[in-house]
């Protein structure tokens, strides 16, 4: 009953207006306002500031700066082994596994189309047929920068307008096509093992999505926006572990690889807590016949 009421409430409220209002508040620089917001949030969610590059709450100019705070340089060491794919963010695994018939598992009994997630282009989605996916949910207390799971060159970025449902477990289990109907930013990278997609999914009260190459991207006018990057004089090249983007309030990152490119490591499954930079997969190797 509580879940049904929660979902009904999200259908009824003005999702975008509420999110923009929260965004305005989160960027407020009035000292007593921003200090009160940051302090109450840090206490309520038990945010670990010992990892932050600046652990002093009052030093942040507004709530968004605190929420997207940088970590100490050694807070998230990467594995030395170069054939390991790393987790893009702190949080929890919502679902991960293999793509089946062009669909991604959302929650038990629910799945959604890869084509829809990536902006409706079937040719773009075909590159990931029978590949692997991982969905990482960033909770409010987590570090909210998203990093590269594997090194690559940005090919294109697609902003897809949509709803702003919450992306927690309750909505994942009860809202059809959740991640393919919410506002999102699709980033397609070319790597030495083929294309990789990293999708930054917006959610209720997420005031914006930002990338390291173009600044704030969402929200935008409510029409899809495609930006191609192959023809730039200086391509956007990011190494494994480099920062890719960040959320202004938390949400979800989805990673896609093509068929027979990666294998997820044992123990990685729905419900697992994650830390950015830890190994979650290994490049797929073909076993030769004896």
pLDDT in tens, 127-186: 999 999 999 998 888 888 999 999 999 999 999 988 777 666 666 777 788 888 888 899
What pLDDT sits at residue 226? Answer: 81
**What is the distance between the alpha carbons of residues 270 and 288, in angstroms, rounded to a whole number?**
31
What pLDDT sits at residue 289? Answer: 42
**What is the distance between the alpha carbons of residues 176 and 206, in angstroms, rounded to a whole number?**
20
Residue 265 has pLDDT above 70, yes or no: yes
Catalytic residues: 90, 147, 251
* Per-residue tokens: 71: 């970590």
pLDDT bin (cut points 50, 70, 90) of residue 240 is: very high
The b-or-e profile of 185-208 (16+ CB within 10 A means b, else e) is: bbbbbbbebbbbbbbbbbbbbbbb
What pLDDT sits at residue 145? Answer: 93
What pLDDT sits at residue 251? Answer: 81
**This prediction's pTM:** 0.87
What is the DSSP annotation of 15-61? HHHHHHHHHHHHT---HHHHHHHHHHHHHHHT--GGGBSS--GGGSS
Residue 231 has pLDDT above 80, yes or no: no
Residue 276 has pLDDT above 80, yes or no: yes
* Per-residue tokens: 146: 């998203």
């Amino acid at each position: 009953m509580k879940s049904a009421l929660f979902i009904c409430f999200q259908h009824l409220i003005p999702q975008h207006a509420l999110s923009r209002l929260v965004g305005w508040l989160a960027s407020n620089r009035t000292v007593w306002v921003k200090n009160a917001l940051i302090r109450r949030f840090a206490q309520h969610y038990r945010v670990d500031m010992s990892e932050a590059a600046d652990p002093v709450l009052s030093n942040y100019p507004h709530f968004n700066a605190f929420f997207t705070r940088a970590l100490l340089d050694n807070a998230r060491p990467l594995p030395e082994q170069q054939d390991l794919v790393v987790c893009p963010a702190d949080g929890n695994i919502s679902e991960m596994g293999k793509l089946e018939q062009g669909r991604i598992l959302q929650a038990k009994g629910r799945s959604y189309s890869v084509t829809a997630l990536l902006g409706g282009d079937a040719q773009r989605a075909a590159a990931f047929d029978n590949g692997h996916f991982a969905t990482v949910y960033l909770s409010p207390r987590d570090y909210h920068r998203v990093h590269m799971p594997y090194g690559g060159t940005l090919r294109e970025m697609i902003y897809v307008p949509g709803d702003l449902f919450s992306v927690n477990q309750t909505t994942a289990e009860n809202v059809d096509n959740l991640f393919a109907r919410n506002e999102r930013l699709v980033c397609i990278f070319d790597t030495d093992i083929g294309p990789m997609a990293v999708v930054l999914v917006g959610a209720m009260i997420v005031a914006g999505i930002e990338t390291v190459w173009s600044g704030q991207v969402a929200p935008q006018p409510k029409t899809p926006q495609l930006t191609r990057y192959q023809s730039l004089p200086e391509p956007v090249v990011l190494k494994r572990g480099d920062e890719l983007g960040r959320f202004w309030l938390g949400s979800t990152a989805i990673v896609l690889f093509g068929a027979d490119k990666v294998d997820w490591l044992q123990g990685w499954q729905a419900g697992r807590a994650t830390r950015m930079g830890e190994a979650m997969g290994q490049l797929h190797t073909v076993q030769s016949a004896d």
